[in-house]
Structure 1
Amino acid sequence: MKKYISLFLLLFICNLSFSQELLATVQVNAQQLGGSNQQAYKALEKSLRDFINNTSWTGKKLQNFEKVKCNFAIVLTESPGNNKYKGNIVVQAVRPVYNTNYESTLINLQDQRFSFEYIENENLIFNERQFSGKNLIDMISFYVYVILGYDADSFQSSGGTPWFQKAQQIAQNGESQNTYEGWKQINEPRNRSQLIREIMSPNMVQLRSLFYTYHRAGLDNLFNQDQTQAKKVIFDGLLQLKTYESNFTQNYYLDLFLMNKADEIFNIFNSNNNGGIALGDLKQLLILMNPKNTDSKWSQWKQ
């Protein structure tokens, strides 16, 4: 009986490790534009939802429980010309934690350089070899592959590399056009090209390795009766961020990780049952690298 249970668990974990398509929700808010053409914005919302959920991004066909849950929230603020729009987009994705109902945030970011062209009910078709010329498909596809990369990295060490490479190609296509904001590697801090460049940089190998151990050896074992080993794995992994002490202020990828995981990290260690872990070093490191949460989180930790 135990052998059957072990086999089931192994198959379950393997299924999770290849969770490589999306189950996305999309919202388009155009209230700031006014006017009566709300149908066009609803059409855009539906077109994007169908585009994200129905495109075969990885060549895998999965059941819904295997897909990556994510959300794209778009706020349109300007319409500078016919079929032209500007605004911002919030991209979010979560990952299930093994043997629980808890979902851990993989990525949660806001991109304020969201500009594009769109004709109502036009077909949205992704071509990774060239820039679309309208930017909408390119931006959405970029973030789709970033999400897939984050998800795969959380189940296998550097498992997201194939999807990050596709995101990098999209960024290079966008940058070569020099038409839309957010793709340039200079004079646009916290842009899409910077994010994917940092993720793919050899200097970020330590953080990508941490991303894997944090989730698979840490979170996925955190809800065992004895949490000591899982907490120790997360603690030791986070201390490895000292590698980036000298340049963390310019590091978009690292900053996103700390912003997205701050609540979770705080809650993991905000107890009297930390298995003898001394939080002093981690507390000081996070106060340095994530000072905005010092008063609300790191200073509140029990020693």
Structure 2
Amino acid sequence: MMKMKALVASLLFSITISAQEFLATVTVDFSQVQGSNTQVFQTLEKSLSDFINTTKWTDNRYKIHEKIESNFLIIITGRNGNFYNGRLQIQTRRPVFNSTYYSPILNFVDSKFDFEYTEFEELIFNPRKFSNKNLTDAMAFYVYYILGMDADTFQLEGGTSHFKTAQQIATNAMGSQFGGWSEMDGNKSRGTLINNVLKPTNKTLRNIYYQYHRVGLDQMSDNESKAKNAIGNSLETLSFYQRGNYALFYPLDIFFMAKKDEIAKIFGGGMMSSVNIGEIKETLNALSPTNSSTWNNLKK
């Protein structure tokens, strides 16, 4: 009987683990902070890793191969007691069907990642209320942002519910002592980012994520030329953002930060496509001129 109970408990544990959404790695870099107590940073690293990987963030069930692989790098730049200043770099990727390749989805930095933390405290997140410490709120915001971005690559506007949860978290944090939430903090603030993601004008970019990944990359193993055409056609629709004031539209910057190297590889050789590579270059150069050396080398 005891063996049976242990087996049942083990099965329940494995089911719970497989149901979680993330395979996340958290790293805390405290090299810029003076002091002898480094244990607190190691504790923080483990606590955040457990927080992200063991929390059930959605009602969906994720199989092992469906878990979202992500890296969170927290660079601590200052400390005053239990208050910390830092930056947060986020990287995520998603698998491409019928291949061993992973496509980068996010690769960006939040430069206003400040929080309060006491070693060994339990990390609790309440989606209806700001914690007044900022740590779990900011991390949960990005968890739901990542979930939304990942879902958008598999289904047209599939991430809407996750983005709305992230928006609510940002709303809860407005007026707090911690920066990085309000639209007054600039176009890269969390509040501005998620509001822009949910704007009707961003539907074009969200649809591009779906066309690029699901209709393009996921079909590469079946028909490379057709898949490249789908990817190229999705990039052509970025021309929508040439018409209007999108110079400071952060969702576009995030797209290019993650995708510039991949786009260069896709249109750097292999099977020929029938896309209008000239128009694609023109659009990419107009929207992301800092990467012109990359765009100018693109080929069909």
- How far apart, CA to CA, are the structure 2 residues paired with 1:277 and 1:20? 40
Look up the match of 1:242: 239
Contact 1:287-1:294 at 8 Å conserved across structures: yes
Greater Cα offset, 226-235 or 59-68: 59-68
Of the three residues 250, 253, 262, the one matched with 1:252 is: 250
User: Superposed, which structure 2 residues align to 1:145-184 within 5 Å?
Assistant: 145-175=144-174, 177-184=175-182
Q: Quick one: distance in 1 between partners of 2:196 and 2:20?
A: 22
- Asked whether 1:43 is paired with 2:7, we answer no
Please list every run of 5 or more consecutive structure 1 residues that lacks an aligned counterpart in the other structure: 1-18
Distance in 2 separating the partners of 1:89 and 1:168: 19
Letter of the structure 1 residue corresponding to residue 129 of structure 2: Q
Deviations 1:121-168 (A, max 9, x none): 100011000100000000000000001001111101111011111100
Measure how far apart 1:223 and its partner are: 2.7
Greater Cα shift, 55-64 or 95-104: 55-64
**Cα-to-partner distance string for 1:10-66 (whole Å, 9 max, x where unaligned):** xxxxxxxxx971110000011111211111110000000000011110034433222
**CA RMSD, aligned part only?**
1.5
1:132-211, aligned counterparts within 5 Å?
132-175=131-174, 177-211=175-209
Counterpart secondary structure, 1:74: strand
8 Å Cα contact 2:20-2:56 kept in structure 1: no
The 1:126/1:68 distance shift into structure 2, 3 A limit, reads same
Q: Deviations over 1:236-265 (max 9, x none)?
A: 111111111122212100111122111111
Compute the displacement of 1:189 (Å).
Answer: 3.0
Counterpart position of 2:29 = 29
Q: Which amino acid aligns with 1:43?
A: T
- Residues 233 and 275 in structure 2, CA contact (< 8 A), matched pair in contact too: no
Amino acid at match of 1:38: T
Mapping for residues 1-303 of structure 1, pairs under 5 Å: 21-79=21-79, 81-175=80-174, 177-224=175-222, 226-245=223-242, 246-271=244-269, 273-295=271-293, 297-302=294-299
User: SS of the counterpart of 1:114?
Assistant: coil
- The amino acid that maps onto 1:113 is K
Q: How many Å separate the matches in 1 of 2:202 and 2:138? A: 23
Runs ≥4 residues deviating over 4 A: none
Report the 3-state secondary structure (helix = DSSP H, G, I; strand = E; otherwise coil) of the residue aligned with 1:300: coil
For normalisation by structure 1, the TM-score amounts to 0.89
CA contact (8 A) 2:220 2:227 kept: yes
- Aligned equivalent of 1:10: none
Question: 2:263 & 2:146 partners in 1: Cα distance?
Answer: 21
The TM-score normalised by the length of structure 2 is 0.90
- Measure how far apart 1:214 and its partner are: 0.8
1:203 to partner: Cα distance? 1.0
CA distance in 1, matches of 2:59, 2:270: 46
Distance in 2 (CA, whole Å) between partners of 1:193 and 1:145 is: 13
Q: Secondary structure at the match of 2:247?
A: helix
Q: Secondary structure at the match of 2:90?
A: strand
The secondary structure found in structure 1 opposite 2:113 is strand
The CA distance in 2 between the partners of 1:181 and 1:229, in whole Å, is: 46
Q: Quickly say closer, same or farther: Cα 1:184–1:210, change in 2 above 3 A.
A: same
Gaps of 5+ in 2: 1-18
Name the amino acid aligned to 2:53. N
Cα distance per residue 1:251-281 (max 9 Å; x no partner): 1001111221111111111126323333100
The answer on whether the counterparts of 1:20 and 1:148 sit within 8 Å (CA) in structure 2 is no
